């Protein structure tokens, strides 16, 4: 393990820097490369970490790893790899690759593209679901207690004053576009931010949550056998969600679509603060051991969504670093990650997973 060198693309960004610090805390002996187009911005962090360097990495060009003085033994993408250049370069070099940034359509396309390459030399890990697949990993574990899963609801309460990086609002570009989900075992199209459903977060309040596109709605039906899966998001300031819903329903959001209005769209919602708790409610309905059952949990990270994402990335890095000999091929993180280990790391990082209720009715 002492010979490992981990490259974090976007390593001195908001999320990337937290990943780097978590990695250093857990693995003091490994080398860390902080990749980005302006390595001078990462110099201070590299000095803080020790055994680290900020390196130039341009994902807009093919073969971005070619310019590095030394090749990494693991690559983690914490910034959008729009053209798959980093992924393809890592596959070609037989270097384990982890992604935590792709939204559903991009994840689906990248899996297809990776499938056309020879991935027998190293794993290609898609931890692209919500918060670097932390929620999907937990849902898979929770659903295992059901004989049959009928419905999974993932409700996200986003702190309006939370820290965030520019990539966190990329989903805004897709808010006027329908997306595919599973309802009653069938593929149907859902529309984002149309109708809010009031959802209770005990001790915090009830908030309107709106459907939006996440990879979890693609992966969880296959992983758990759930007939219906939905993901919804709302904001703790109680105004951002209804405002966005109004823009979408009125057609105004469609009018400011396209590259020309990209800065305007992002500016409407990208107003990061100093931090706020990130909460996710998970509800599962189905057939329990004694009949119909419903169980609910709340996942809370008091350090916010960037810390939860960084922890999810750390879980995948830890998995590969501890494996030694890597299992090659395309992997979806929710299906290959040990939930007990993931929970332990989350607990060590102060992330709580609290069971709200278990209601079974044999009738």
Task: With both helix axes pointing from N to C terminus, report the angle between 14-26 and 305-323 in degrees, rounded to the nearest 10.
Answer: 40
Q: Which residue has the tokens 């849902």?
A: 139
Cα gap 23→78, rounded to integer Å: 14
Cα–Cα distances in Å, from 302 out to 65, 212, 285?
A: 36, 23, 27
Q: Return the domain boundaries, the chain.
A: 5-126, 134-304+350-360
Q: Smallest Cα–Cα separation from 215: which of 101, 53, 51, 321?
A: 101
In SS3 terms, the chain reads as: CCCCEEEEECCCCHHHHHHHHHHHHHCCCCEEEEEECCHHHHHHHHHHHCCEEEEECCCCCCCHHHHCCCCCCEEEECCCCCCCHHHHHHHHCCCCEEECCCCHHHHHHHHHHHHCCCCCCCEEEECCCCCCCHHHHHHHHHHCCCCEEEEEEEEEEECCCCCCCHHHHHHHHHCCCCEEEEECCEEEEECCCCCCEEEEECCCEEEEEEECCCCHHHHHHHHHCCCEEEEEEEECCCCHHHHHHHHHHHCHHHHCCCHHHHHHHHHHHCCCCCCCCEEEEEEEEEEECCEEEEEEEEEEECCCHHHHHHHHHHHHHHHHHHHCCCCCEEEEHHHHCCHHHHHHHHHHCCEEEEEEEEEECCC
Position 161 scores a pLDDT of 77
Cα gap 18→16, rounded to integer Å: 5
Token pair listed for 92: 């070609």
> Do the two domains 5-126 and 134-304+350-360 of this chain adopt the same fold?
no
Specify whether the CB–CB gap between 143 and 214 falls below 8 A.
no
Position 160 scores a pLDDT of 77
Q: Classify residue 305 by burial, with Cβ atoms within 10 Å: 0-12, 13-18, 19+.
A: buried
pTM score: 0.92
Cα gap 57→21, rounded to integer Å: 20
> Under CATH, what is the fold of the domain 5-126?
Rossmann fold (3.40.50)
Q: How many residues does the chain have?
A: 363
State the CB neighbour count (10 A cutoff) for residue 42. Answer: 27
Nearest 10 degrees: Cα torsion 300, 304, 306, 311: -40
Position 1 scores a pLDDT of 52
Cα gap 265→255, rounded to integer Å: 11
In words, the CATH class of domain 134-304+350-360 is alpha beta
Residues of the chain falling short of pLDDT 70: 1-2, 163-174, 265-274, 324-325, 357-363
Position 362 scores a pLDDT of 31
Give the model confidence (pLDDT) of 74-125 as tens digits.
999 999 999 999 999 999 999 999 999 999 999 999 999 999 999 999 999 9
Position 252 scores a pLDDT of 83
Position 156 scores a pLDDT of 97
């Amino acid at each position: 393990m002492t010979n490992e060198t981990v490259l974090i693309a976007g390593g001195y960004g908001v999320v990337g820097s937290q990943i780097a610090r978590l990695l250093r805390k857990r693995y003091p002996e490994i080398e860390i490369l902080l990749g980005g187009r302006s390595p001078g911005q990462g110099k201070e962090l590299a000095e803080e970490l020790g055994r680290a360097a900020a390196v130039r990495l341009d994902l807009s060009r093919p073969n971005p790893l070619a310019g590095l003085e030394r090749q990494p033994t693991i690559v983690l993408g914490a910034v959008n790899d729009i053209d798959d250049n980093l992924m393809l370069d890592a596959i070609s070099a037989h270097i384990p690759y982890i992604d935590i940034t792709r939204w559903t359509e991009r994840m689906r396309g990248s899996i297809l593209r990776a499938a056309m390459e020879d991935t027998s030399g190293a794993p290609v890990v898609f931890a692209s679901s919500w918060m670097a697949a932390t929620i999907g990993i937990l849902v898979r574990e929770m659903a295992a207690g059901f004989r049959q899963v009928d419905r999974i609801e993932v409700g996200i309460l986003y702190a309006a004053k939370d820290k965030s990086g520019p990539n966190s609002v990329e989903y805004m570009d897709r808010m006027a576009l329908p997306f595919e989900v599973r309802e009653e075992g069938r593929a149907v199209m859902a529309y984002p931010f149309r109708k809010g459903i009031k959802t209770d977060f005990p001790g915090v309040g009830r908030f309107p949550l709106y459907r939006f596109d996440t990879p979890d709605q693609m992966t969880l039906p296959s992983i758990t056998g759930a007939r219906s899966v939905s993901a919804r998001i709302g904001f703790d300031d109680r105004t951002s969600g209804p405002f966005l819903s109004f823009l979408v329903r009125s057609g105004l959001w469609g009018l400011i679509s396209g590259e020309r209005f990209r800065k305007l769209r992002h500016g409407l919602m990208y107003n990061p603060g100093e931090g706020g708790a990130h909460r996710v409610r998970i509800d599962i309905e189905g057939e329990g051991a004694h009949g119909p059952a419903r169980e609910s949990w709340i996942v809370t990270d008091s350090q916010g969504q960037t810390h939860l994402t960084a922890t999810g990335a750390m879980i995948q890095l830890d998995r590969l670093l501890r494996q030694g000999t890597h299992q090659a091929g395309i992997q979806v993180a929710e299906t290959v990650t040990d939930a007990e280990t993931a929970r332990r790391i989350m607990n060590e990082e102060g992330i709580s997973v609290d069971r709200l209720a278990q209601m079974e009715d044999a009738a």
